[in-house]
Structure 1
Amino acid sequence: MRWRSTLVAAAVGAAALLAPVLVAPTASAHGWVTNPPSRQDHCSTGAVSFDCGGLQYEPQSVEAPKGSMQCSGGGGFTVLDDESLPWPRTQIDNSVTMRWQLKAQHATSTWEYFVDGVLHRTFDDHGAKPDAVVEHTVDNLPAGDHTILARWNVADTVNAFYACVDVTVGEGGGTTEPPVDPTDPPVEPGDCDVAAWDPAAVYVLGDRATVGGHTYEARWWTRGENPTTTGEWGAWRDLGAC
């Protein structure tokens, strides 16, 4: 009978070792665009007439290696890539606030927004940890029906989170040369006493910074956007050389 007792003890010991593996929860994932509603958000709220599979319960889980241009990121939720499905479209103006809801706040390198596969705006967080709700203003959108691919690039992993947003931009959609905002004050000569631009600092409307011998003034909230690279219609106005 001793050999039977030995076998039972060995089996119990093996089961004890396996138990943590069997009951360990899967990693909870992490964030998606809720406004305007992304495809996975429509799935989670029941706004679509077709089966989205697991997205109904975990819209935050569209995670895949960085660099993909697919709505699924090339991961398992391939329903997101099916352009034949009747994805709802949201009517917007040529400027829209993209809102992310984060279930886990990962250190972030960049947030990227592509319009019909073309990079439109990038927001650089320089590895900072974001808030639970993240908003970006994406402006100068072209008129008509478009799909915006939002890509959240995590700083300390090889992965990114993906969300596609289907929109219809009104007839006032942006152009390559939008008119100057009439509320902008006249451009004044640069002020050499202005502090140098800090990529980690937050700037709001009217704040000024100096880069490369020029002074720039912020048109809206911005962080990490180099004034010398945002262009004439970007977040910064060039006030001229010091």
Structure 2
Amino acid sequence: MTLRLADQTMLRKLLIAGGILTLMMVALLLFAAGKASAHGYIENPGSRAALCKSGANVDCGNIVYEPQSLEAPKGWPAAGPADGKIASAAGAFPKLDEQSATRWSKVNISAGPITFQWKLSAMHATASWKYYITKEGWNPNAPLSRDSFNLTPFCSINYGGVQPPSNYASSCNVPVRTGYHVILAVWEVADTANAFYNVIDVNFGGGTTNPTLSAPTGLAASGITNTSATISWNAVSGATGYQVYRNGSLVGTATTTSFTNSGLTAGSTYSYTIVATNSSGSSAASSALSVTTTGGTTTAYPAWSSSTVYVGGNKVTYNGKNYEARWWTQGETPGVAEVWKLIS
């Protein structure tokens, strides 16, 4: 059958239009793949964006609707948001970059141990969490720049490419400062080129880490079961109590040198640190102790292969852990790519 010239012309137009639509869809998918699917912000102590959402900060612009979206290229300070656009993560929310000594509400804190509580609306494989603070003598009436900050983080946590919980918390020791300062928190995801940037406006009331208290040492675990573990440590001279942190969150206190933590999950790994306290303040945090509970599934699944196509619901074993695919995938590494859900 021979098509008329008009029909041939129409067919060519349809084919061209279809090709353009396909290219547009591919481009959209590629663009989406370049963005981290994770989002989050620091809820406590309240970040500048969080206080905009709550109404403590005013005239903030659209960030009040999406404080979790302060995303920009990672690699700060060598890369990332430009000077003057650090608070807004490269200028997407320009109101956040307005800077003066009185522009923003401030959270009262003291130097020493503090927990930075993140609220994550979607989790993502994480490379690290880093925290920076402005220098002594910084200019609070000038736009935030790299020159405003100490460029060495006062707290840096290597997260090894795993997914954090939705209520992830970092346990850090904040250095001594006086008056108004800004803390910059950087959440670097592992499998994209992006990071999330939060600034926290804080006011130091003169409190400091107690220099007479040493950080606890000699952490050890015993009595490990499917759901509990006992953590012990060496006594610290001058201490009247101890704070116990698990994965960066305070889970209890003790007046002796041991603490039993219950309610854990079988076959799971936790990180513990201890802080000594007395009426004059707190010590720095101890070195971390990793503890893995007993139990968990013993089901063996096929070993993951980079050349195999997997669909949602397929289960594999990789590096001694079991994962389930959330959707179609090939060549994306379990424990790194979000497509894989850790099941044991």
Distance change in 2, residues 1:3/1:37 (3 Å)? farther
- Asked whether 1:169 is paired with 2:187, we answer no
- Asked whether 1:120 is paired with 2:154, we answer yes
**Which of 97, 106, 112 is the equivalent residue of 1:81?**
97
Asked if the contact 1:62–1:75 (Cα under 8 Å) also holds between the matched residues in 2, the reply is no
Report the alpha carbon displacement of residue 99 of structure 1 after superposing the two structures with TM: 1.4
1:207-240 CA-partner distances (Å, limit 9, x unpaired): 69xxxxxxxxx96435499xxxxxx833239xxx
Report the alpha carbon displacement of residue 134 of structure 1 after superposing the two structures with TM: 0.6
**Partners of 2:20 and 2:66 in 1: how far apart?**
27
Asked if the contact 1:205–1:220 (Cα under 8 Å) also holds between the matched residues in 2, the reply is no
**Partners of 2:272 and 2:87 in 1: how far apart?**
26
Residue in 1 aligned with 2:284?
Answer: 233
Residue in 1 aligned with 2:7?
Answer: 5
Asked if the contact 2:173–2:284 (Cα under 8 Å) also holds between the matched residues in 1, the reply is no
Residue in 2 aligned with 1:155?
Answer: 190
The one-letter code sitting in structure 1 at the alignment partner of 2:95 is V
SS at match of 1:7: helix
**Partners of 1:44 and 1:18 in 2: how far apart?**
41
Q: What 5-or-longer segments of structure 1 have no aligned partner?
A: 196-202, 209-217, 226-231, 238-242
Distance change in 2, residues 1:109/1:2 (3 Å)? same
SS at match of 1:157: coil
**TM-score scaled by structure 2?**
0.49
Distance change in 2, residues 1:100/1:32 (3 Å)? same
Residue in 2 aligned with 1:61?
Answer: 69
Asked if the contact 1:64–1:161 (Cα under 8 Å) also holds between the matched residues in 2, the reply is yes
Residue in 2 aligned with 1:129?
Answer: 163
Quote the sequence identity (%).
Answer: 32
Q: How many residues align?
A: 206
Report the alpha carbon displacement of residue 150 of structure 1 after superposing the two structures with TM: 0.6
- Asked whether 1:41 is paired with 2:50, we answer yes
Distance change in 2, residues 1:9/1:17 (3 Å)? same
Report the alpha carbon displacement of residue 24 of structure 1 after superposing the two structures with TM: 5.2
Structure of higher RCO (CA pairs closer than 8 Å, 6+ residues apart): 1
**Partners of 2:213 and 2:129 in 1: how far apart?**
26
Asked if the contact 2:128–2:158 (Cα under 8 Å) also holds between the matched residues in 1, the reply is yes
1:147-192 CA-partner distances (Å, limit 9, x unpaired): 1111111222332211001112333x225x53428xx98x7xx69x
Residue in 2 aligned with 1:221?
Answer: 246
**Partners of 1:92 and 1:127 in 2: how far apart?**
31
- Asked whether 1:206 is paired with 2:206, we answer no
SS at match of 1:48: coil
Q: What 5-or-longer segments of structure 2 have no aligned partner?
A: 78-85, 135-148, 222-228, 235-242, 248-270, 274-282, 289-344
SS at match of 2:285: coil
Residue in 2 aligned with 1:212?
Answer: none
**TM-score scaled by structure 1?**
0.66
Distance change in 2, residues 1:205/1:78 (3 Å)? farther
**Partners of 1:47 and 1:221 in 2: how far apart?**
30
Distance change in 2, residues 1:11/1:33 (3 Å)? farther
The one-letter code sitting in structure 2 at the alignment partner of 1:77 is F
Residue in 1 aligned with 2:61?
Answer: 52
